[in-house]
């Protein structure tokens, strides 16, 4: 596709995964804990420098082309999908890297707008391509933050750090327990071949830019102020109950979700390590109920999927199920017995069609790897970017 669009072979191909969050929802922007894994679906960017300050992007997914110039006054614009790349370029520019324009073709098999972080996958893939272009890597946590800022400024979603962090740092066969305050991750192995992570797309498109996400974040910040803590991560359920009369009932419920979800998430990581699957399943169902009732970010279709999964139950091979990601549509995640996964998928899709008249897309994913340059990545992973890189520091083209 790159050769067809730009008349030559790409110099680099960078890619980054989407993610599914097993538990720990709407906790990241409260300095809390999350437990996601990278999925095997990825966004890839094939690119080469353009020889000018112009960037031309072609989307293989929708056939559109977008262009912009690298400069100080880069702003949000149309088409909206190009903003994610523009935001990342602006971030590198802010770091002081001497950038040049590039041509790129973007392709992805991460379902869009489904709560599987298609936007973070695009941002992190773009940042990985930028690293190849400047010939140096930046610290992965800094890279995640740069991409998060791109999302804030160029997509208008005040998201937390989870999606960009796991997309940049996911590891095959592992989940990552991320402490979103210290922005550090602890690998949690997930290698048991008898278990599988099932992702159920309700095909209800969600949009986090419509204000509900930002509203939740503001409500949490208001609860933290009333409780006189830096962030809800620092509050206990006892503290919350003691402050009940001074809190608006809605704000109380929002805070109760976040505080209890942090407890569930750290416990879930222990369960994964110890193989306590039954308890892990209970925590997933409890997380869903809390997101549905206290945080109010679920929707009828997601609730249906979770109910169908619960009715199949442990006997039928379902250990636990919950909505995943920002909510208001998108996907549910279920932990299932591998040898029953196929039957369970059939039962859920049939039941879902029956109840909602909608088709669900269901697939399994093992924990996949984080971002990488998959072709032409000749720069050393150990060379970390610290100061503006001169043109002689650029990555060399691949041998063939
Ligand atoms: C979106 C955001 C994340 C996180 C989740 C909810 O995916 O991008 O930062 O807040 O919602 O857990």
Residue 297 exposure: Cα atoms within 13 Å on the Cβ side: 32
Q: Ligand 1 atom 9: the closest Cα is on which residue?
A: 160
Local confidence band at 166 (pLDDT 50, 70, 90 cut-offs):
very high
- Determine whether the shortest distance from the Cβ of 216 to ligand 1 is under 6 A: no
- Answer CATH for 211-293 from 3.30.70.890, 3.40.50.460, 1.20.272.10, 3.40.50.300: 3.30.70.890
Taking the CA of residue 213 as reference, the ligand 1 atom at the shortest distance is 11
* Residue 116 C-alpha from the chain's centroid: 6
How much of the chain, in percent, has pLDDT values that exceed 70?
A: 93
**Which of the 8 DSSP states describes residue 208?**
G
Averaged pLDDT for residues 198-220: 90
Residue-level pLDDT at 73: 82
Q: Which residues contact 276 (CB under 8 A, 6 or more apart)?
A: 270
Closest CA to 292 of 174, 300, 390: 300
Quick check: 260 pLDDT over 70? yes
Which CATH number does the domain 191-206+299-365 belong to among 3.40.1350.10, 3.40.50.300, 3.90.950.10, 3.30.70.890?
3.30.70.890
Domain with CATH 3.30.70.890 in the chain: 191-206+299-365, 211-293
User: DSSP H helical segments within 96-211, as ranges?
Assistant: 118-134, 140-150, 162-169
> pLDDT by residue (tens digit) across 101-142?
999 999 999 999 899 999 999 999 999 999 999 999 999 999
For 61-76, the pLDDT digits (tens) are 999 999 999 987 899 9
The residues annotated as belonging to the active site are: 163
In the chain, list all ranges with CATH 3.30.230.10: 2-189+367-375
**Residues of the chain above pLDDT 90, percent:** 86
Angle, nearest 10°, between helix axes 118-134 and 82-95?
40
Calculate helix-pair angle for 341-356, 300-312, nearest 10 degrees: 140
CATH of 2-189+367-375 among 3.40.50.261, 2.40.420.20, 3.40.190.10, 3.30.230.10 = 3.30.230.10
Tokens 């992973």 — which residue?
381
Judge if the beta carbon of residue 28 lies within 6 A of ligand 1: yes
Residue of 31, 167, 257, 326 best suited for mutating to test ligand 1, as the one with most atoms within 8 Å of CB: 326
Distance (Å) from CA 26 to ligand 1 centroid? 6
124 CB near ligand 1 (under 6 Å):
no
């Amino acid at each position: 596709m790159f050769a067809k669009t730009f008349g030559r072979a790409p110099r680099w191909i960078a890619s980054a995964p989407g993610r599914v969050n097993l538990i720990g929802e709407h906790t990241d922007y409260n300095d809390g804990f999350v437990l996601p894994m990278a999925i095997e679906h990825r966004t890839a960017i094939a690119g080469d420098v353009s020889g000018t300050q112009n960037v031309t992007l072609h989307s293989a997914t929708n056939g559109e082309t977008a262009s912009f110039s690298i400069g100080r006054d880069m702003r949000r614009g149309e088409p909206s999908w190009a903003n994610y790349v523009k935001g990342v370029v602006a971030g590198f520019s802010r770091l002081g890297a001497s950038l040049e324009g590039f041509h790129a073709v973007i392709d992805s098999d991460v379902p869009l707008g489904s709560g599987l972080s298609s936007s973070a996958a695009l941002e992190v893939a773009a940042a990985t391509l930028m690293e190849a272009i400047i010939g140096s890597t930046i610290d992965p946590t800094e890279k995640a933050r740069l991409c998060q800022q791109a999302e804030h400024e160029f997509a208008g979603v005040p998201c937390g750090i989870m999606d960009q962090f796991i997309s940049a740092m996911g590891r095959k066969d592992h989940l990552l327990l991320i402490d979103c305050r210290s922005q550090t991750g602890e690998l949690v192995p997930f290698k048991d071949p008898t278990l599988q992570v099932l992702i159920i797309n309700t095909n209800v498109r969600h949009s986090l830019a419509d204000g509900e996400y930002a509203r939740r974040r503001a409500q949490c910040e208001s609860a933290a102020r009333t409780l006189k803590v830096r962030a809800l991560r620092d509050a206990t359920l006892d503290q919350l109950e003691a402050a009940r009369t001074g809190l608006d009932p809605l704000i109380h419920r929002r805070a109760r979700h976040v505080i209890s979800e942090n407890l569930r998430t750290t416990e879930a990581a222990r369960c994964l390590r110890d193989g306590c699957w039954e308890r892990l399943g209970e925590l997933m169902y409890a997380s869903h109920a809390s997101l549905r009732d206290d945080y109010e970010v679920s929707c009828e279709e997601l609730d249906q999927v979770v109910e169908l999964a619960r009715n199949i139950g442990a006997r039928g091979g379902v250990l636990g199920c919950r909505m995943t990601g920002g909510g208001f549509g998108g996907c549910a995640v279920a932990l299932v017995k591998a040898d029953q996964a196929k039957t369970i998928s059939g039962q859920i899709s049939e039941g879902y069609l029956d109840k909602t008249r909608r088709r669900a897309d269901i697939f399994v994913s093992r924990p996949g790897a984080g971002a990488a340059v998959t072709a032409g990545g000749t720069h050393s992973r150990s060379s970390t970017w610290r100061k503006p890189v001169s043109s002689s520091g650029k990555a060399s083209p691949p041998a063939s």
